[in-house]
């Protein structure tokens, strides 16, 4: 008995197609479902818009090209390809910036843990270009906040917020600081939730349970998958 993961009758063709395109694996059933959906009356503009909105262009494009490229209108596949290539260029530039920042922090004796962005893409898909992301995230000890801020400012970054030098006077809500340079944004986190938030995450335990990920051929230490799920769930709950 086969299990129909996404019942076709309950979804619009473009929604069902998006879900099957991002399904993991390359099994025969997935390919057949994608090709069957392509033959339906798909609203391609809605599919592209949804892919962009949810940050899924890389996965959808790769699936359309490999599973059903011949059945997708050429102009549609071309639009997906353009977005995919722009994302690749952005992700490669972001990855380079991430590795340069890691070197900067290491040279100055600062332990900074990258997560999300290129690191999460490498963890999930084995490369840095299969996700869409707009910034770089690092976690540091709060004791390093002033040094990190001064380092980034000395490297030409700017910030839209100034924090007190005395960490004991940090606002209760404060948990991150944003830095900008050209078109990039770097988020420096020293906690994952405000101090008054009911969910407490012990930074010391996180830093003792790091996980190696290969990013652009280089081993980078990030949070373990189990810790990362909790961190991302907390982040989503606060930003949702």
Residues 61 and 126 in one domain: no
Residue 81 is assigned to a structural domain of this protein = no
Has residue 167 been placed in a domain?
A: yes
Classify 65 as helix, strand or coil.
helix
How many CB atoms are located within 10 Å of the residue 107 CB?
Answer: 9
CATH code of the domain containing 126: 3.30.460.40
Q: Same structural domain for residues 131 and 197?
A: yes
178-210 burial, b for 16+ CB within 10 Å, e for fewer? Answer: ebeeeebebbbbbbbbeeebeeeeebeebeeee
Co-location of 114 and 207 in the same domain: yes
Task: Determine, yes or no, domain membership for 1.
Answer: no
In the chain, the percentage of residues whose pLDDT exceeds 90 is 58
- How deeply is 28 buried, as exposed, middle or buried, from its count of CB atoms within 10 A (0-12, 13-18, 19+)? exposed
The pLDDT assigned to 126 comes to 92
Greatest CA separation for the chain = 63
According to the model, what pLDDT value does residue 239 have? 59
pLDDT greater than 50 at residue 1: no
Mean pLDDT of 104-128: 95
Lowest mean pLDDT across 7-16, 89-98, 219-228: 7-16
pLDDT reported for residue 105: 97
**pLDDT score of 114:** 97
Asked whether residue 141 falls in the same domain as residue 182, the answer is yes
Q: What is the pLDDT of residue 200?
A: 65
Specify if 28 maps to a domain: yes
* pLDDT score of 232: 86
Tell me whether residue 210 is in a domain: yes
The pLDDT of 115-130, averaged and rounded, is 94
Q: Mark out the alpha helices in 69-217 (DSSP H runs).
A: 74-107, 117-125, 145-154, 203-207
Lowest mean pLDDT among 91-100, 116-125, 131-140, 190-199: 190-199
Q: Is residue 203 part of a domain?
A: yes
Range of the domain at 151: 91-239
Per the model's pLDDT, the better-predicted residue between 171 and 19 turns out to be 19
Burial 62-76 (b: 16+ CB within 10 A, else e): bbbeebbeeebeeee
- Give tens-digit pLDDT for 199-234: 666 677 888 889 999 999 999 999 999 889 888 887
pLDDT digits (tens, 9 = 90+) for 31-84: 888 988 998 889 999 999 999 999 999 999 999 988 766 788 999 999 999 999
- Tokens 């929604």 sit at which residue? 15
Q: Residue 3 — pLDDT band, cuts 50, 70, 90?
A: very low
Q: Count the domains in the chain.
A: 2
């Amino acid at each position: 008995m086969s299990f129909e993961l996404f019942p076709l009758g309950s979804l619009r063709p473009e929604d069902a197609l998006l879900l099957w395109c991002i399904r993991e694996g390359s099994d025969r059933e997935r390919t057949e479902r994608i090709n069957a959906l392509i033959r339906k009356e798909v609203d391609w503009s809605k599919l592209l818009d949804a892919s962009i909105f949810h940050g899924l262009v890389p996965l959808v494009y790769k699936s359309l090209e490999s599973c059903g490229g011949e059945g997708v209108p050429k102009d549609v596949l071309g639009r997906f390809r353009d977005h995919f290539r722009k994302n690749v260029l952005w992700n490669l530039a972001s990855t380079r910036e991430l590795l340069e920042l890691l070197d900067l922090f290491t040279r100055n004796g600062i332990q900074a843990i990258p997560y999300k962005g290129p690191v999460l893409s490498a963890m999930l898909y084995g490369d840095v270009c299969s996700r869409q992301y707009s910034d770089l995230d690092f976690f540091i000890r709060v004791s390093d906040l002033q040094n990190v801020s001064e380092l980034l400012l000395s490297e030409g970054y700017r910030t839209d917020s100034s924090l007190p030098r005395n960490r004991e006077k940090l606002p209760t809500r404060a948990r991150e600081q944003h830095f900008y340079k050209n078109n990039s944004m770097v988020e420096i986190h020293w906690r994952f939730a405000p101090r008054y938030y009911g969910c407490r995450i012990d930074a010391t335990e996180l830093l003792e349970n790091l996980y190696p990920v290969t990013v652009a051929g280089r081993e980078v230490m990030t949070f373990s998958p189990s810790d990362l799920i909790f961190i991302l769930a907390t982040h989503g709950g606060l930003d949702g």
